[in-house]
Amino acid sequence: MNAFLVRFGPALVGLAVVVLATIASTTVAARAPMWEMRPPHGATPGGGDCNDNDPNVYPGHVEIVGNRVDDDCDGLADEDANDNPSGDINDLDGDGVSLAMGDCNDTAGSIHPGAVEVVGNYVDDDCDGLADEDAADHPSNDAADHDGDQVIIAPDPIFASGFESAG
Ligand SMILES: [Ca+2]
Ligand SMILES: [Ca+2]
Ligand SMILES: [Ca+2]
Ligand SMILES: [Ca+2]
């Protein structure tokens, strides 16, 4: 017995150290990095205006079926009360995309899925529900309310420096 410990004891201790170190490093690597520990996108009310030129368009507005625009900023125009997409296959603005195909504004030919998002025009050009997001789809941090509907473009006050909440 003693001969066994004398011969293999140091090796067993060394093996245990290696195993413990492996477990420790694996545990650290599995932790979520700090930058992922933030509130989910869109969780904070008060922002996310997808058309800051029109006070009748903002998240929470009633979707008006038949006006061919996205009134409630979910990226769909004229969806029904259960959020079923419109089945309208007409293309009234001539951009090649019908409401049924996902056009979120069938009154403006420059606005349709796949359009380039024009940063600074205060509208959602590419029908993803966000206005003025950058080329990497990062949300705008524009904290001004340009149309007076009390809803800013920045979807999250964390991104909106100088955001003044009315409560
Ligand atoms: Ca909508
Ligand atoms: Ca269209
Ligand atoms: Ca957009
Ligand atoms: Ca606004």
Tens of pLDDT along the chain (167 residues)?
566 556 766 665 655 555 555 545 544 444 544 444 444 444 344 699 999 999 999 999 999 999 999 999 999 999 999 999 999 999 999 999 999 999 999 999 999 999 999 999 999 999 999 999 999 999 999 999 999 999 999 987 655 554 444 44
Rounded Cα gap, residues 11 and 77, in angstroms: 70
Residue with tokens 């410990």: 5
Report yes or no: 117 and 96 within 8 Å, Cβ to Cβ. Answer: no
CA of 80 to the centre of ligand 1 (A): 9
CA distance 125 to 129: 9
For ligand 1, the distance from its centroid to the CA atom of residue 62, given in whole angstroms, is 8
Residues forming beta bridges with residue 51, ordered by sequence position? 123
- CA geometry: angle at 47 spanning 42 and 49, to 5°? 105
Going by the DSSP 8-state scheme, the letter that residue 69 receives in this structure is: B
Q: Which residues surround ligand 2, an ion (CB under 5 A)?
A: 91, 93, 95, 97, 103, 106
